[in-house]
Amino acid sequence: MAAVRPWNAFTAVEAEVRAVVTGPRWPELPEPARAHQIASRALVTADGDRWLFAAHARWHLHDPAGGRWHPAPPPRHLPARRVKHAAAALPADLVPRGPDFAAEPGSTQAFVGPDVPDRLCGHIRELLRANCGKSEPEYPLTAFGEIFAADVPSTVAAVWGTIMWCAYAPAFDGNERLLTAFGEFLRRPLPGDEWVRWLPAPPLADLVHLVAERQRAGHPRAALRLTALIADTAQFLLADARFRPRALALLTMTEPALQQPGLDDHLLDDQALRSAWLARCPPRLARALLCDTDPEAHLAHTVYDLLEALAHTPDPARAAAAHLADLSDSRGLLPGRLDHRLRRAYDDLHRAGLTSTSAAERTQPDGFPIRPPALGHATGTGPYAVLGESGDRGRVAAVLGAAYAVGLAWSRVSGARVPERGFAGAAALVRRLIHERDDEPPQNH
């Protein structure tokens, strides 16, 4: 007889809310009725923390100090009781719209450890071979000039920019074949070291600019060709869950212009074309666009992802705060964006003088002790070979990716510089991955 999972208040409420929000009546309910459905299923744990399963199919924690609701994974191991919360007091953006519960889950894993699929890499190489010989005067490099040499056509930049925009966390193995395909076009070595390339995440505006510039110059066919290259690249990226949510969003934004040539020819301004692309993205994919449409919300969701990735650790808030401590915050703006549990853990590190630094002295990230190799059992060679079970590797890659995504999100919000050799906590995790075999790419959750 199969074992019966113990009843859990968080799991039960989550199932109830999902059934209600995805049901046929939800779109017809007025806003106050929707808010009541969510507020009537609030949970409170013994420490007084109040939780709601709400917008974006994610849990939210009430901060008693400021009254804000922060996206935060719940402590599922703790008992909780159901209470009623005042529906009128809920912020409008906390109440699910419906399509947000159908978001593509994707994966937070970085591209360190699990390789990009061979077939995907082959498709990208074919795209480059077919388009790298385009005339530079016809396809001038008007974006990504910090990456590519000046005589590289924008067709190459369109493929690169699509890959980097779609990547949840663009941290790649130093020998990743997806990157080596671009080697001959690079202006200078990519940031990072021989183990990991810590790459910037471009804004959607950079991709839009490649297209809009050609339209302003009176070359609509070249603009359409660049749009097609962006869509073709995104189509191939669907094969990897680390790219899929944003790749889907990008396809919905670009395909109408390919199906109706001339649709965007009158949009000569970058901002106008960007707005047209964003307007075509369906609500169910809206969270994939937060990095461009709402950087503050995107930061909050990447912190949620980091906490989820660290859920197996003894104290996820403390472990997450150790990664947040790597972020540069000279103006002290980060704590006010954290929920009270994370804020307490972060403040402890601040009092110890361990915040706003790259704390290189840390020899092991919280939750992932670096164990010395045992004779005959270590994978990899050399002084940094470590023991590791295959089951751990996916977790490590997920934490690494989520931590790097948080750093990139914080950079967009604050303007803080992203270290060329990565943030200390994420860089430390690399040692659990680089000397072991490469795993299969992650699948959808």
Per-residue pLDDT at 369 exceeds 50: no
Per-residue pLDDT at 7 exceeds 60: yes
Lowest mean pLDDT among 252-266, 370-384, 398-412: 370-384
Supply the pLDDT for residue 386. Answer: 26
pLDDT band for 357, please (50, 70, 90 cuts): low
- Percent above pLDDT 70 for the chain: 89
Per-residue pLDDT at 51 exceeds 60: yes
Per-residue pLDDT at 377 exceeds 70: no
pLDDT band for 84, please (50, 70, 90 cuts): confident
- Percent above pLDDT 90 for the chain: 78
Per-residue pLDDT at 418 exceeds 60: yes
Of 88, 206, 67, which is closest to residue 147 (Cα–Cα)?
206
Name which residue leads in pLDDT, 439 or 199: 199
Supply the pLDDT for residue 381. Answer: 25
Supply the pLDDT for residue 436. Answer: 65
Condensed to tens digits (0 to 9), the pLDDT of residues 274-285 reads 999 999 999 999
Per-residue pLDDT at 82 exceeds 50: yes
If one counts every other C-beta atom within 10 angstroms of the C-beta of residue 357, the result is 15
Listed in sequence order, the residues at least 6 apart from 170 whose beta carbon sits closer than 8 Å to its beta carbon are: 111, 163, 164, 198, 199, 200, 201, 404
Supply the pLDDT for residue 249. Answer: 98
Name which residue leads in pLDDT, 178 or 362: 178
Name which residue leads in pLDDT, 356 or 175: 175
Per-residue pLDDT at 378 exceeds 70: no
Average pLDDT in the chain: 89
Per-residue pLDDT at 363 exceeds 70: no
Q: For strand 80-83 and strand 69-71, is the pairing parallel, antiparallel, or unpaired?
A: unpaired
Q: Cα–chain-centroid distance for residue 40?
A: 31
CB 130 within 8 A of CB 111: no
Average pLDDT over residues 42-56: 96
Condensed to tens digits (0 to 9), the pLDDT of residues 298-316 reads 999 999 999 999 999 999 9
Supply the pLDDT for residue 6. Answer: 66
Q: What angle do CA 409, 124, 179 make, to 5 degrees?
A: 55
Per-residue pLDDT at 206 exceeds 60: yes
Q: What angle do CA 266, 268, 272 make, to 5 degrees?
A: 90
Helix (H) or strand (E) holding 71: strand 69-71
Supply the pLDDT for residue 141. Answer: 96
Q: How far apart are CA 327 and CA 314, in angstroms?
A: 23
Average pLDDT over residues 428-432: 86
Per-residue pLDDT at 375 exceeds 60: no
Per-residue pLDDT at 392 exceeds 90: no
Supply the pLDDT for residue 368. Answer: 46
Average pLDDT over residues 106-115: 91
Lowest mean pLDDT among 145-149, 180-184, 360-364, 380-384: 380-384
Tell me the torsion sign for CA atoms 353, 357, 361, 363. positive
Per-residue pLDDT at 27 exceeds 90: yes
Supply the pLDDT for residue 323. Answer: 95
Give DSSP secondary structure letters for 292-341. Answer: HH-HHHHHHHHHHHHHHHTTTSS-HHHHHHHHHTTS--TT--SGGGS-HH
Condensed to tens digits (0 to 9), the pLDDT of residues 135-159 reads 888 999 999 999 999 999 999 999 9
Condensed to tens digits (0 to 9), the pLDDT of residues 225-276 reads 999 999 999 999 999 999 999 999 999 999 999 999 999 999 999 999 999 9
Lowest mean pLDDT among 55-64, 124-133, 422-431: 422-431
